[in-house]
Chain A
Amino acid sequence: MENIRHYKPFQTGQYGIFLAFMIVCVVLSILTPGFLSGSNLLIIGTQVSINALLAFGVTFVIISGGIDLSLGSMVAVAGVASAMFAHPDTYPLVVPLGMGLLAGLAIGLLNGWVITKTKVAPFIVTLGTMTIGRGLALILSKGRPVSNLSDSFNFIGGGTVWGIPFPILTLIITFLICHFILNKTILGRYIYAVGGNEEAAHASGIDVGKVKLKVYALCGLLCALGGILLTSRVTTGQPNAGAGFELDAIAAAIIGGTSTSGGTGTMVGTLMGAMLIGVIGNGLDLLNVTSYYQLVVMGTIIIGAVVLDGLGKKNR
């Protein structure tokens, strides 16, 4: 039984992502003296945090064999919902937090429920809820930004603890929880099983519908957390916030080695993917590359990562 207890944080093929991340960091630190400064690293961490939260959520979904396009809309709904209860001297902090999380959870559950009950493809269902969610955010906010938020609420996205921005702490804690769920719990094992072979999982006695429902609910919760962080950071609940966020989050998961066909992927990989995206964006900013070119670079990296991953597999 050799090597059974040997701990492997990465799956085979993900060392490449780690290597790419290190190379990019070394190159950027040579090219731009400011890159490795403490303040810049904290900026990167803060910028990465929201995308990483969404990416963790969608990693659960993709491993289970699904996809979620409604991430950005859930960010908006949760952001607006929390902001509406976060005006100064109205409710204690738990109320806006709870309302935001509830909003994300509700849409996540809706996604999971429709997908398991109707067997319509997740791509289509979440394409629908993406639009519904955006509409709900506009309805709730009457189309206007929700501003004038309490200081305690604004601390979530803008405050620091022992000099570390609160979003980074949120990111670290959430990462640990997600990693734990995926690797140490029965639900985590079932997520891999459902994504790896749904028919076999069903025949093995796994309640596939329940697993999917939990996965989309979890994703909704994580998006809501991202929405609350964003709202707090910009001190406004924007109904148009989060548009296009789903693509960055899916990109982070895929760069991190999660296969879109389901059954494989890790939270460590997704975290690396999100950080790689963040570091490259930051580095290009420091190098004064305009955002137009940044988009081209980012797209190339997404494809490049998957191509390299494929080459690595072939060589084995």
Chain B
Amino acid sequence: MNHIGAMTEPIVRINQITKSFYGTKVLDQVDLELYPGEVLALMGENGAGKSTLMKILIGLLKADSGSISFLGKEVHSQKSGLEKTIAMIHQEMLVVPELTVAQNIFLGRERSFSGKFWLKDRVINQKAQGVLAQLGLRLLPTTKLKDLAVAEVQMVEIAKAISLEARVIIMDEPTSAISDKEVAALFAIIEALKRQGVAIIYISHKMDEIFRIADRIAVLRDGKMVHRGPAEALDTDRLVSLMVGRAIDQLFPEETTAIGAQLLAVKGLTRAPAFEDIHFELHGGEVLGLAGLMGAGRTELARVLCGLDSPHAGEIRIGGEVARLKNPQEAIAKGIGYVSEDRKAFGFIPRMSVKNNLTLSSLKQHRKGGTVNEKSEEKVMAENLLHLHIKASSGRQPVGELSGGNQQKVVLGRVLNTQPHIVILDEPTRGVDVGAKFEIYKLIHELKKSGKAILLISSELPEILGMSDRILVLAKGKQTALMSRAEASEERIMQHAVL
């Protein structure tokens, strides 16, 4: 920690930044400083003001008051070259898939290596090779981006930032879509960046990562900076309570419910090569956790169970009867509800209102003659908003404008409004802040108590262990273990998951 000594001058000093949108203060006199060679974890619930602060830092937004100084000099215009020294690795990747690694790294700067007219790919490739080597990346400069895995694309973005001689790199949820092995590779690169004096602002909801990688932690809550300090001074519980402003004594509700009748039975279910020969039963009032690494076939299994894909072999029994689910309509009619891991792609219609999204799957319940009965829709919406604690300015607000947690609650509401008996939740708390996470856990528990059968897919082992009655582990498309909660531990699950 010696590099954060009193003698070191910060690269960036954010001073009393305030920003309001339509009279609502999103940032309230926020101070933050960033030192060379450190990883600063910026924490806060969704809507706490993290992304607004970052947008002000990289010049996408203008602060109402306050100042930012860079290497001791106050920056007035946000277009004064600051955008080149501060790079942001976005959640949504900003690359051109059809271009190569080298072409992406130097996109827009080709002229500095070539003549005015002709491209010199050879020179660009060499330069790219240099940057990749500097980061210890084993990527070919001539590979097209569309042929790379998500994690590798992220590495290319980091390489691009380095080639721009960025002094500050902002990483927004960099591990949300990559596997554990890739996370390790990313962290190695972060270490390399630190040694080169690059400062990193790291935004993530994953607590274990924060404590692995962060030197210092800053916590935003409701637009105020409520904590800045070394990472060692905090632990998970303390950090969570700083973020939500109250102590969460117990993240997972500890109650047992009576296991009811068998609602779902899967025998020899196969969709090669994604998964093969899966067997399990699911009862009312039971949560079955489905664990495994990325690519183990969990989401593919869920997609077959909800009618999005068809199986190649095996049978699905719902309430004892063999069910052939040709499409999602049939699955919904048979009482299966599915919350996708990719809510942006499969979960909601971004431009549609909260109300219309909530009733989208159950619209036929609101049929009156040939029309939609908006009164009965509004009644259901009012119940949903209250029950699920959805925070929206009104029922007319487009869901695309809500925070991740609230979007997820809308998706949950839409699915639950179809009155399913079997609820498949695929990564229900991905990209969701701690408060919403807790509410989703409570909801799962309520569903369980009301006798529904729940299949919970999650990459977060504490979540699987905390919520499940039994745990099914998949590895490379094969079922490797089915254990009770009492038998299960993180180590045991991992042993079977990496098989």
Contacts and interface: CB of A to CB of B under 8 A. Distances in A.
A202 B328 contact: yes
Given A4-B355, A4-B395, A197-B348, A204 B328 contact: yes
Contacts of A185: 370-372
13 contacts: A1-B382, A4-B355, A184-B371, A185-B372, A186-B363, A186-B364, A189-B372, A197-B349, A200-B348, A200-B349, A202-B308, A204-B328, A263-B351
Interface in A67-88: none
Contacts of B331: 205
Contact of B349 (A2, A180, A188, A193): A193
A138 to B, nearest CB: 39
B136 to A, nearest CB: 37
Contacts of A90: none
A196 B360 CA distance: 12
A4 B360 contact: no
Contact of B329 (A1, A4, A205, A263): A205
Contact of B346 (A4, A180, A196, A200): A200
A30 to B, nearest CB: 38
A192 B399 CA distance: 14
B394 A3 contact: yes
B396 to A, nearest CB: 7
A122 B348 CA distance: 24
A114 interface: no
Interface in B367-392: 367, 370-372, 378, 381-382, 385
Interface string B315-354: 0000000000001110110000010100001111111100
Interface residues of B, number: 36
A206 interface: yes
B489 interface: no
A4 B349 contact: no
Interface in A161-195: 180, 184-186, 188-190, 192-193
Contacts of A184: 371-372
Contacts of B352: 192-193, 196, 263
B418 A205 contact: yes
Given A186-B364, A196-B350, A203-B338, A4 B394 contact: yes
Nearest to B22: A316
A231 interface: no
Contacts of A196: 349-352
Contacts of B340: 203
B346 A199 contact: yes
Q: For A190, A200, A264, which residue has the most chain B Cβ atoms within 10 angstroms?
A: A200
A296 B349 CA distance: 38
Contacts of A193: 349, 352, 356, 360
B414 interface: yes
A203 B328 CA distance: 6
Given A2-B394, A205-B418, A199 B360 contact: no
Nearest to B395: A4
Contacts of B371: 180, 184-186
A110 interface: no
